[in-house]
Structure 1
Amino acid sequence: MSRLKGVARQDPRAGFRADSRDGGTCVPQGLLKAARKSGQLNLSGRNLSEEIVPQCVWRINVDIPEEANQNLTFGATERWWEQTDLTKLIISNNKLQSLTDDLRLLPALTVLDQHQNPPNHVLSTLQKCGSLQKLNVSHNKLKILPGEIANLRNLKGLYLQHNELSCISEGFEQLSSLEDLNLENRRLCFYPASQNTVVQIFSRLLLFSSCLKNCHSEDTQRAKRLKHLDCSSNLLEAIPPELAGMESLELVYLWRNKLRFLPEFPSCRLLKELHIGENQIEVLKAEHLKHLNSILVLDLRDNKLKSVPDEITLLQSLERLDLSNNDISSLPYSLGNLHLKFLALEGNPLRTIRREIINKGTQEVLKYLRSKIKDDGPSQSDSVTETAMTLPSESRVNVHAIVTLKTLDYSDKQTPSIPDEVFDAVKSNIITTVNFSKNQLGDVPKRIIELKEMVSDVNLSFNKLSFVSLELCMLQKLTFLDLRSNFCSSAPLHMQIIPFLSLFKNFINRFKVLPEVLYRILTLETVLISNNQIGSVDPQKMKTMENLTTLDLQNNDLLHIPPELGNCVNLRTLLLDGNPFRVPRAAILMKGTAAVLEYLRDRIPT
């Protein structure tokens, strides 16, 4: 009791405050009672409309609780005088505009989450809270940071993302305990050169989606403790050599910039993950790889790579390699010697590996590459050149492919329509595969229906299709359908009449939701629909797809992964990387599909 009385003596006006300021009626007594036991109070999203935080919150450890006047005896769980000091307060997603000096009545407060409230003066009173370790004032339209921030000497995590800050003010160099700083902000253009000493104190720095064009070398060379650097969605054209001096770096995210070369990291012996997708990298050289001895994840998707060097085998620790959506036509056979758990190759014009092998997954691809290693055989570069020279590039019909490969191939012609002589050349031959990729087709050729009793594999990728025609859906034996890199934004319901469709490949299109018709095609085994704009999936309908074993939803707009998706136990491969959701975390995703499904099942509400 002496502790409580001591705090109360600091507030002699306690009994004379206006009732209008109390606001106690909007905070349930049950929450206050539970907070006295746990030391944590969550008032997020309770529509608190007062300009200030209700007094009952500030005085939770000062005033005698209401239940003390309602009970004559107290059990072991009701001893309010043994209450725990409030250490964590969450008042986000309300309409609060300011914090008062009463914040000093919570001297033990270590976590304050006040994100997504109207413009406020929250930071000006924080000097009263010297024990604070984590502060979240994101999404608050803050334009400046007051000097009082420098008084938070115990602060370890500061979350300022999505405000209106244009630069970092003075005072940060005094935050000697700061480890985690989030400055995701589309208006942030720079931080002063005089602040270069502050960078050395971070272990995690997020500059996602700012307007950065350069990383100052005088800043980066001092960042000796930095472990996690995220500079995604900026305008970076180069990374200074001093970045390689960050010996503690473990995770680097450089997505969506304008980088043309992979940075070298000669000093980063601890680097575990390098995410550098959606840039303009054209060449991958041995010197880029030789220092990545500890790398586990290398993400190079959506670049302009044309080849992979043999030196990729230097990365003996590598577990996940993403090369999807590049211009790679061949892979070094030595790649098969790596112990990869995941290898993404979709969206590349590979000519040396058959599609059915790629569709079988990572281990089959590695096994195939190992089988091609020959000590005294011709070099792979020679064989690739010969293959490229023998591919049909003339406008005439490839009769040889029709007769021997059962393939109607009229690809890479950049034509807006398929000439009649192409279909006429089929004559009485059996055709199982149609390849009209890399043209300018705005419609599916109507004459494709002439092949409805034969064709099982149709490739219409890299065209200008905006819809799936009925003629295509009438192919009775259609099993594999490739519509990637078109202009499709929906899939018509008549697709459900395709009786044997097992693989649907449709990434890099304009889908905003997973097409309803896909839930109805119960024969589907593989759905590859990455690089769209999909924002949600229906786990209940997906559970009815009992044959679905592979689902690729990478690089979409999924903000939430429904826990019920964990009930889709038939899934063997579930790819979710590149979406803006926060959970499951990257560490869970790296463990593989089984771990992700188990994680989701554990969070299904009972």
Structure 2
Amino acid sequence: MSRLKRAANVDSLAGFRSSQPEAAVPCGLLKAARKSGHLNLSGRGLLEVPQSVYRLNVDEPAEAKEDVSFTGSDRWWEQTDLTKLLLSSNRLTELSEDIQLLPALTALDLHDNQLSSLPRAVGELQELQLLRLSHNKLALLPAELFALQKLHSLTLQQNLLEKMPEEMGQLGSLTELDLSHNLLEQLPSSVGHLTALQKITLCHNRLRVLPDSLGQLTDVRLLDCSNNQLTDVPASLSGMRSLEQLYLRHNKLRRLPRVPAPALKELFAGNNQIEQLEAEQLACLTAVSQLELRDNKIRKLPEEIPPLLPLTRLDLTNNDISSLPASLSLLPNLKVLLLEGNPLRGIRRELLARGTSDLLKYLRGRIKEEPEGAAEGPTALTLPSEALVNLQKVQTLKTLEFSNKQAAEVPEQVFDAAAHQAIITADLSRNQLTSFPSGLLQFQSSLTDLSLAFNRLTCCSPHICSFQLLAHLDLRNNQLTDLPCEMKTLPKLRSVILNYNRFSSFPEVLYDIMTLETVLLGNNQVCGLDPGRLKLLSLSTLDLSNNDLLSVPPELGLCTSLRCLSLEGNPFRTPRAAILAKGTDAVLEYLRSRIPA
């Protein structure tokens, strides 16, 4: 019995269990690293870098103490210095000074950790060419870092950096610098000493000005300053002779900067506050083929657009342009002209829907029809009382226009002037209206286009459902948080513009309007949407840029009717910016690939 009791206490699996805890870095990996010079420890949940890694080329390997064969791959003495160390996607909070024991490193990847500081010993890595520090918690950088004379690529995006030291200018071999998604308010003037730079990414910071010394960087091909607080860019940028792509989206620019960089091919200045576009500004863009000016406040285009501009794509989406100059049709290379979301007058929407080619053909026809000297004289009929309404537009175009008056309410004379007219378009934008003008109800049987943009509306009146022919509704730049459920009874509504309001979710009623083709909800606080209900619509354009989406539901990829999907400026991590940059089709395909089987 005593033998049986003792046997009962024996662990029958003891022979299969290791007597020592498993090493953080397997010996096999270290052995292979000594031969290849590369060690990949990414995504292993490391809280610290084991000493065995730092001392990889210092300590005698375990094989030297064992009785092993000296043939083939077991030649432990034939080892090489570690040149590439990958430590990304771990939980490292610090890096030891012992990093100096790896002086042969040419690539060090520490992105996606929790580092709040770097050791001074990083300056001992004089062979280092690539250093990735993105997605950490770095607020300061040691001065020794900027003594790395062979460093080519430095990525510091998604950190907590508030400033960069003047020593940054010592990195004379740097070709790529990424400082995006930090807290930078200015750049040191020494950035102009980085004459080898070819790509600079500064987006999503707090920059108010750019240093003049940027103009000394004659090899830079891409400069991204999007999502900052720039009100202008220095004229010295014209000295960037190799600059091909310039991103200035989401700043506070009030005019299109004059950047006569001779190689500039793509200029992106959307989502600013640009109000005027002058011929002289366009004339500087001697090599630009793509010009993006969407989501600005441009009211008119210059009558004489320089005919030799090489533009192939011009994006003027969501501005305040009411007419197009005929000279636009003289641009010889223009293939894509985007005008969605503008209060265009005198051009039928059917014509706009046909595409750029037909529109340019129409504008060329206007050049032939206009007689010489046919300048518009003072013949337009207007009301005597301070010319409140253009009666000619009321009678011939069936358009009631009372915009940019900054009025708190629409005078009765305005509606009286259009009485008994089948008004098709009503523009009451850019006023101080706080409620829906009841005088509009007399046009409920004819109105198809209604603009109440740039007012102070806090709610949309249920009276909107009275306009059974309404096809286009512009309510951007108000204070709306929701839309009335009665809107679902509108049988012909095709586009709704709601940019710059206060929506925290996708308006519920829009899911029920099956005729919708365009929904613009940019610059709100939308944090979610229902793709299952959205795919039942026939949306071709959906703008959800600059909202609070923490994730993009993969089922959104099933909305196959979408031709233009804007998601930039949201805090989600996937899809990555590189995928968004490929366009709508690529984003939808990516989302579909993430739908669970």
- Compute the displacement of 1:186 (Å): 2.9
1:218-265: per-residue Cα shift (whole Å, max 9, x none)?
x23431211112334555555444321211111112345555554444
1:339-364: per-residue Cα shift (whole Å, max 9, x none)?
44543435655444345544665445
1:147-201: per-residue Cα shift (whole Å, max 9, x none)?
144236244233255423423242642441443342654344341x4x3553212
1:273 aligned to which of 266, 274, 279: 266
Unaligned runs of 5+ in 1: 1-21, 66-80
> What is the identity, as a one-letter code, of the residue corresponding to 1:96?
T
Q: Assess, with a 3 A threshold, how the Cα gap between structure 1 residues 523 and 97 changes in structure 2: closer, same or farther.
A: same
Are the aligned partners of 1:228 and 1:252 in contact in 2 as well (CA < 8 Å)? yes
Distance between the aligned counterparts of 1:258 and 1:226, measured in 2? 24
Distance between the aligned counterparts of 1:475 and 1:33, measured in 2? 77
Q: TM-score, normalised on structure 1?
A: 0.75
Match of 1:374 in 2: 368
1:489-540: per-residue Cα shift (whole Å, max 9, x none)?
2224443333432222222323243223222322212223334344544433
Match of 2:43 in 1: 43
1:39-78: per-residue Cα shift (whole Å, max 9, x none)?
644328x5x5x4x33557768999999xxxxxxxxxxxxx
Are the aligned partners of 1:147 and 1:171 in contact in 2 as well (CA < 8 Å)? no
Q: TM-score, normalised on structure 2?
A: 0.76
Q: Assess, with a 3 A threshold, how the Cα gap between structure 1 residues 429 and 373 changes in structure 2: closer, same or farther.
A: closer
Q: Assess, with a 3 A threshold, how the Cα gap between structure 1 residues 31 and 272 changes in structure 2: closer, same or farther.
A: farther
Distance between the aligned counterparts of 1:113 and 1:143, measured in 2? 16
Distance between the aligned counterparts of 1:373 and 1:577, measured in 2? 39
Distance between the aligned counterparts of 1:415 and 1:110, measured in 2? 63
Are the aligned partners of 2:98 and 2:121 in contact in 1 as well (CA < 8 Å)? no
> What is the identity, as a one-letter code, of the residue corresponding to 2:42?
N
2:564 aligned to which of 556, 573, 585: 573
- Compute the displacement of 1:571 (Å): 1.9
2:127 matches 1:135? no
Q: SS of the counterpart of 1:298? A: strand
Match of 2:315 in 1: 322
Match of 2:49 in 1: 53
2:201 matches 1:206? yes
2:160 matches 1:163? yes
Distance between the aligned counterparts of 1:375 and 1:605, measured in 2? 59
1:365-422: per-residue Cα shift (whole Å, max 9, x none)?
3343233221763468x24x669x5576857777776676555655555443445676
Distance between the aligned counterparts of 1:300 and 1:459, measured in 2? 21
Match of 1:76 in 2: none
- For 1:111-122, what aligned pairs fall within 5 Å after superposition? 111-115=108-112, 117-122=114-119
2:301 matches 1:310? no
2:503 matches 1:507? no
1:335 aligned to which of 306, 328, 349: 328
- Greater mean deviation of Cα atoms: 531-540 or 566-575: 531-540
2:284 matches 1:288? no
2:541 matches 1:550? yes
The alignment of Structure 1 onto Structure 2 pairs a total of residues equal to 560
Distance between the aligned counterparts of 2:194 and 2:206, measured in 1? 18
1:539-581: per-residue Cα shift (whole Å, max 9, x none)?
3332121x22222345555565554433221123334566677
Unaligned runs of 5+ in 2: 1-19, 63-77
> What is the identity, as a one-letter code, of the residue corresponding to 1:89?
L
Distance between the aligned counterparts of 1:423 and 1:30, measured in 2? 84
Match of 1:437 in 2: 429
Q: CA RMSD in A?
A: 4.7
> What is the identity, as a one-letter code, of the residue corresponding to 2:308?
L
- Greater mean deviation of Cα atoms: 508-517 or 530-539: 530-539
Are the aligned partners of 2:172 and 2:194 in contact in 1 as well (CA < 8 Å)? no
Distance between the aligned counterparts of 2:329 and 2:418, measured in 1? 38
2:457 matches 1:465? yes
Distance between the aligned counterparts of 2:283 and 2:391, measured in 1? 46
1:496 aligned to which of 488, 502, 525: 488
Are the aligned partners of 1:145 and 1:169 in contact in 2 as well (CA < 8 Å)? no
Are the aligned partners of 1:442 and 1:464 in contact in 2 as well (CA < 8 Å)? yes
- For 1:76-155, what aligned pairs fall within 5 Å after superposition? 87=84, 89-92=86-89, 94=91, 96-101=93-98, 104=101, 110-115=107-112, 117-122=114-119, 124-125=121-122, 127-128=124-125, 130-151=127-148, 153-155=150-152
Distance between the aligned counterparts of 1:63 and 1:414, measured in 2? 81
Larger radius of gyration: 2
- Compute the displacement of 1:101 (Å): 1.4
Q: Assess, with a 3 A threshold, how the Cα gap between structure 1 residues 127 and 391 changes in structure 2: closer, same or farther.
A: farther
Using the aligned pairs only, state the percent identity: 39
